[in-house]
Structure 1
C-alpha cells in the first residue's frame, strides 16, 4: 500500500487542517451540554438534549474529521485530485460548521426555522463535497481496493444526509414525518462511517501500526458486501419492518464485528515493540465496536435487554465516543504531525531538514490526553446507567478530554508557524 501513496499530490495544508482544528470544538460542546443540562439529557435517547449531544458528535466532530481526511486522502491514495482544494475546503467547512451548530440548537429549541436553515447548510456543504469528490474519483481509473472503497463510501454519506434532511424537514413541519430514523442511523454509522473507516484502515493500519496487510479478499469485497447487506435490511425495514427486518439487521451488524475482530487480530501481529497511543485508540475502538455489536444483537433477541432504557445509551456511547471519536482522535495524532512535517520539509526545498514528527506533538501530551479520553468514556458508560449521579462528572470529563485534544492540535499549528518563519529565514539567507 505504501508504494501507492503520492504525497506530491497532497493538497495545501490549510485545506484539511481547518477541519481537524474545528472537530474538538464539537466534542467539547457535547461535554459542556452534558455538564450544564445534567441527568435530563440521559433520561432517554429521544430527549432534545440526547439528540443534540448525538449530533454534536456525528454532524460535528465526525463529519469534520472525515471530510478533512478525505480531502487529504483522495489525491494521495486514489490519485483523485480535487479541483481548487482550498476553495472546496472553504465552502464545505464554511457551511457544515454553522449547519451542525444550528442543528444541535434546533433540537434544544425545537425551532422550525433553525431546523430548516441547518438542513440547508449541511446539505449544501456535503453536496459541494460530494460533487467535487465524485468528479475527482470518477475521473481516474480504479487501481486499488482503497480507491474502489472510497467510491463506495460516498453514496453512504449522500443517503445519510438525504435522510437527515427529510427528518429535519419533518421536525420543521415542512415535510411529512417519515419513518426514516433507523435508516438514517444505520446509513450514517455503517454505510458511511464504518465503510470509510474500513477503507482508510487498509492503508493506515499497516502503515502506522506496522501490521501485516488486511487479507486481499477482505480489502476487495468487504465495503461492497457491507453496503449490500445494509441495502437488503433497508428494503425490509422500509417495506414491512418487524421480525424480518430485525433478523436481517444481524448481517450488517455482524459485518462491523468482523472488521473489528480482524483489525484486533492484525494489531496482535504488529512489529512494534511497544504500542503507541494511536494503537491504543484503535484497539479500544475495535473492542467498543465488538461490544456494541454484541449489545445490538442481544437487544434484538432478548426482550428483557431490548426493553431497558439504558441499552441504546450504552450502545451509542460505545459506538460514538468509544469507537469513532477514539479512532479519529488516534489518527489525528498521526495525520497532523505528518502533514506539518511534510509541509516544512517541502518548504525547506531539500536544503533544510524539517523537525521530526515527534517534536510536533510530544508523546507525553498524547499519552495524557489518551488517559483523559478513556476516563471520560468510562464515566459516560456509567452515566448511561446512573445519570442522576454521573451525568455532570461525565460531561466535565468529556470537556477536559476534548479541550486537551484541541489544545494539543493548536500547539502543533503554533509549532508549524514558528518553524515556517525559521525555515523561510534560513532559505533566504542561503540564497543571498
Structure 2
C-alpha cells in the first residue's frame, strides 16, 4: 500500500498531459508525458461508445457525460495515474467554420522594400476581425502575404512592393454550442479543459514536425460523422475546413444498398479486410462472393464483393472530389503540391490510399505521428492521431505561455501560426 502511494506521488510530480476527443462513434482519452528530445511517451488509453453523439455534437448531454467519465476512468486505470495535469479537448462539428480577413499596409519608403515591421503592422490589422454575433474566435493563423502585383509569398521580407496584404484565417465557433461541447468534459472531469483545438490543426501537430512541410501537405481525417481537412505549407496551416460526412454515411450507404439495418452496414465497414473488399472496385461482377448476415441475428447471405466495393468507391470518390472543389474555391488547392495524409477511422478502409491518389492525383499515405513511443496499438492506428495531436499542440502552447509571449512587433508574432483560444491570444 505504501509503495503504491509513493508511486502515485511520484507520478503526480510528473507533467502528464491528457487529450480528449468526444467523437460521433466513441469518446477517446489518451494520457502521455514528454521525455528528452521531445519524444512523447503514451501512458494510458480509454474509450467508450458515444451513442448519443451526432456529427460532433451531443444529443443527450447527460448520457454522453457518463460515457466521457467511463473513458476518463479507463485511461487513468491503464496509465496507473490520475488525470491531474492539463487536459486538451478536440473540437469538430457544424458549429465551427472559418473566416478569412485581410490586413493591408502601404509601403511609403522610396525603395519600397518590405520590412519585418510592415509585416507585423499588416498582421495586426488582419487580426482585428470582429466575430459574427454569438460566435467566438478560437484560432487564427497567417495564410499568405500578398504583394501589389498579386503574387503570394510565404515570407514577404525583402520583396519590393508598394503595398502588402496579410491574409489570416480565423476558426470561429457558435458560442452556445461550443459551451455545450466543452461542458461535457467539464461535467465529467469536474473542471474545464486547459485548451481546446480544432481537430485538423491538432492532427497537423501530430504528424508534421517543424520545418518538415515541403511542397504543401493535405491532411484528410475521416471520422464517423465529420471529415476534416487542412492544407499545411512551410508557414503553417494555410486553410482548413470540414464536411459533415463520414463513416456513418458510408455505413448507411451499405445498409441501403443491401436493404439492411444501419448496424449491419457498420459491421460490414468494420469487416472489410476479412471480406477482402477494397475502396477501389474491381468491377468483376459475381466472381467474388462474400457471406454476411444482412439482418440482426439472421443467417449469412452471399453478396458480390464488387457490389460492396462499388458503394465504397462511389461515396469516397465523391468525398475526395468535394474536398478538392472546396479547396479550389478557397484558393488552397494550388498549395497542395506535396502529398495527402489520411487519418481517422476511415483511413483504415482497405485501398483508400490508392483511391485518394486516383481522385486527387497526389501521392497518398496513412498519417503517422512522429517521435512517439509506448502503446504501439495506439501509435499505429490512424484513428488515434487526433489524440496524439492534442498532446503535442497542448504541450507546445503551454511551453509558449510559460516562456512568455514574444515582444510586440517581433517577426515571430507575424510569421508563426497564431491561436486564440477563449479570449487568450497566444502564438501557434
Category of TM-score, reference length = shorter chain: under 0.3
Q: Greater share of helix residues, 1 or 2?
A: 1
Q: Greater share of strand residues, 1 or 2?
A: 2
TM normalised by structure 1 equals 0.27
TM normalised by structure 2 equals 0.27
In terms of Rg, which structure is larger?
2
